[in-house]
Structure 1
Amino acid sequence: MSDLLGEPGAPRARLRELLAGPEPVVAPGAYDALSARLVEQAGFGVVYMTGFGSTASLIGRPDVGLLTGTEMIDNARRIVAAVDVPVIADADTGYGNAVNVVRTVQGYEQAGVAGIHLEDQVMPKKCGHMSGKAVIGVDEMVGKIRAAVEARRDPDLLLIARTDAAAVDGLAAAITRGRAYADAGADLLFVEAPTSEDDIATVAAELHGVAPLVFNWAEGGRTPPLSLDRISELGFSLVLFPIGTLLAATAGIRALLATLRTDGTPAAALPGLPTFDGFTDLIGLPEIRDLERRFGTP
């Protein structure tokens, strides 16, 4: 976990090192700093900041383009500060045209993320596993990717190009876009929401060698839930598990509230929860105590 006075690391170089390895990099989703710390404590080497989960947690609404770039970057900054492992963040459409993308990329870079993904949806966008999506033209998205490449100050900042064209114009169109986005300078390609294993295999085969590939294992979404072995066999480099933590937290909160509503107190639910002291340890109270002793703070 990130210490308040810890030495800054090199998460971007670390992410690129992990992606160069033989196995897919697994990145569970986090929607806030606490869930990010839990991902890191569970032993995962990368955290993924989910836009779906960020929207749900920050404003309690669906992922339909309601959050601004400022809100998303602020969330990314808090998540990055809470962990030592690299953070990959959802940057939606870049929140405007190519000029807006320049500012978006620089904002995320200043927030400390190791990578972002930009998508080719029309604003306001929708979650990639919802219906009713629309995409901008290929040339416009190519311009946005070129702007993103030039906007980053650190060449190790990972730029992932996502296309949602499969649901709009078909898989072949999405693959064609992927090639164009790689030519524009994207480091990884992300074809969102293929709906069959055959389509996933086609994406992997057609884009093999063009750029490393992202697989979005969206819990309950439209893409079949392949095993990690199969994903590795197909050659994907990065696997996102975006909303499992959010769904688990929702289920846990609902269960606690049901007990409280029924019994009048949460006592019956407490054996299944972290203890108060255990939780404060988890979120770093021992470090605070050490700092208080070190600096003589009452």
Structure 2
Amino acid sequence: MPYVIANDLPEAPAGDRFRALLARPGILQLPGAHLGIAALLAKEAGFDGLYMSGAAMSATMGLPDLGMITVDDVCFHIRQVARAAGLPTLVDGDTGYGEALNVMHMVRAFEEAGAGAVHLEDQLLPKKCGHLNDKKLASAGDMAAKVAAARRARRHLYIIARTDAVASEGMDAAVDRAKRYLEAGADAIFPEALVTADMFREFAARMPGVKLLANMTEFGRTPFFTAQEFEEMGYAMVIWPVSHLRVANKAMADLYAAIRTDGGTMKRLDKMQTRAELYATIGYHAYEALDASLVKTVVPEGMPQGH
């Protein structure tokens, strides 16, 4: 049953539902899903929460991940994901789209759109993917002020502070920053671009009792680890931020090449979701039945009288 017409719509705010997921045993697995259809497919696969990547949203708009998208751009994606699947979703808040007041605006806007959690990072604009070189960091004090602003503005949103400091300032500085962000009001910490299992373990060991987020992105600096391995290293959450987009983009590129080569799509049908499968995923027939039940045809019984 599609979320938008289901009979069991959640009454609790998305942030409270995100916390409830974190309170369960085991690591919380959050696959990337920044479009409504992706959210439905992830839910169909059995996931209970989702992640929305700024890089994925930017790329979908044909833009690089350099902090160019706006709060309204992100809210467009949040609304469709929340409406489609109804799952608690962690959203990439980049650098907060400005300073403290901008962060407060972002928090309220994300909550109203349906987000359950947000992470903020301590880079300066133009920001970069956490796995690229030459990232410029804000001061720990400036980032802590943003975290405090987010905490003050939130009604229910779960706040995760990301630090990119390991690559340029080292582990000690990253841990010190993380502690300042927790003091400022962060609920959890996201140490970005750790490059070995030992680094993941060390960071977790130095953050006892703190909820930590791991990023399992492809083609970056982090080796492949499974969700279970991250859990064993001390992490409470793991994201696969852009995996879905990489797969979809590769499939689309192959399709366009095939059309150019073959003059049509006849050789690609085995790679396509069928019409029936699409309709099942989006709940087409349930919507159709709902429409029929709401709009009952009224048959006129006679001709109206003229004046």
User: Do the two structures share a fold, i.e. TM-score over 0.5?
Assistant: yes
Residue 282 (structure 1) aligned with residue 281 (structure 2) = yes
Q: Show the 5 A alignment for 1:100-249.
A: 100-154=102-156, 157-209=157-209, 211-249=210-248
Q: Map Cα deviations across residues 83-135 of structure 1 (whole Å, 9 max, x no partner).
A: 12111101111101111111111110111111010111102211111222111
For 1:3 and 1:240, how far apart are their aligned partners in 2?
23
Inter-partner Cα distance in structure 2 for 1:89 and 1:109: 10
Paired residue total: 294
**Which one of 36, 39, 42 corresponds to residue 45 of structure 2?**
42
- Contact 1:162/1:189 (8 A) holds in 2: yes
User: 2:170, 2:226 → 1: CA distance?
Assistant: 25
Alignment check: 8 A CA contact 1:145 1:184 kept: yes
Q: Which has the larger radius of gyration?
A: 2
| CA-CA distance at 1:213 after TM superposition | 0.3
Identity %: 37
SS in 2 for 1:278: helix
Are residue 89 (structure 1) and residue 91 (structure 2) matched?
yes
Further displaced range: 222-231 or 113-122: 222-231
Greater shift in the superposed pair: 91-100 or 194-203: 194-203
Q: Distance in 2 between matches of 1:18 and 1:193?
A: 25
Among 7, 12, 17, the alignment partner of 2:15 is 12
SS in 2 for 1:17: helix
2: distance between equivalents of 1:228 and 1:190? 15
Partner secondary structure for residue 268 of structure 2: helix
Query: Match of 1:295?
Result: 294
1:53 aligned onto 2:56 = yes
CA distance in 1, matches of 2:62, 2:132: 17
Amino acid at match of 1:162: R
Instruction: Report if aligned partners of 1:2, 1:81 keep a CA contact under 8 Å in 2.
Output: no
Alpha-carbon deviation of 1:297? Answer: 6.6
Distance in 2 (CA, whole Å) between partners of 1:160 and 1:228 is 19
Which amino acid counterpart does residue 163 of structure 1 have in structure 2?
T
Shift of 1:39: 1.1
Can you list the C-alpha shifts for 1:232-290, whole angstroms capped at 9, x where unaligned? Answer: 11110000011110011011112222221111110111022121222122222112211
Write out the 4+ residue segments of structure 1 that deviate beyond 6 Å after TM superposition: none
Task: State whether residues 3 and 9 of structure 2, in contact with CA within 8 Å, keep that contact through their aligned partners in structure 1.
Answer: no
Over residues 174-225 of structure 1, what are the superposed CA-to-partner deviations in whole Å (9 max), with x where a residue is unaligned?
Answer: 111111111111111001101222211111111122x200001112211121
Q: Distance in 1 between matches of 2:34 and 2:265?
A: 25
SS in structure 2 of the partner of residue 268 of structure 1: coil
* CA distance in structure 2 between the aligned counterparts of 1:223 and 1:49, rounded to whole angstroms: 19
Gaps (5+ residues) in structure 1? none
Length-normalised TM-score, structure 1:
0.94
TM-aligned CA distance change 1:274 to 1:197, over 3 Å? same
User: Hey, what's the Cα distance between the residues in 2 that align with 1:297 and 1:216?
Assistant: 51
Distance in 2 (CA, whole Å) between partners of 1:187 and 1:8 is 26
Change (3 A) 1:297 1:196: farther
Task: Tell me the distance in 2 between the aligned counterparts of 1:280 and 1:2.
Answer: 11
- Unpaired runs of 5+ residues, structure 2, are 298-307
Q: Distance in 1 between matches of 2:24 and 2:277?
A: 35
1:23-46 CA-to-partner distances (Å, cap 9, x unmatched) read 110000012111111111111010
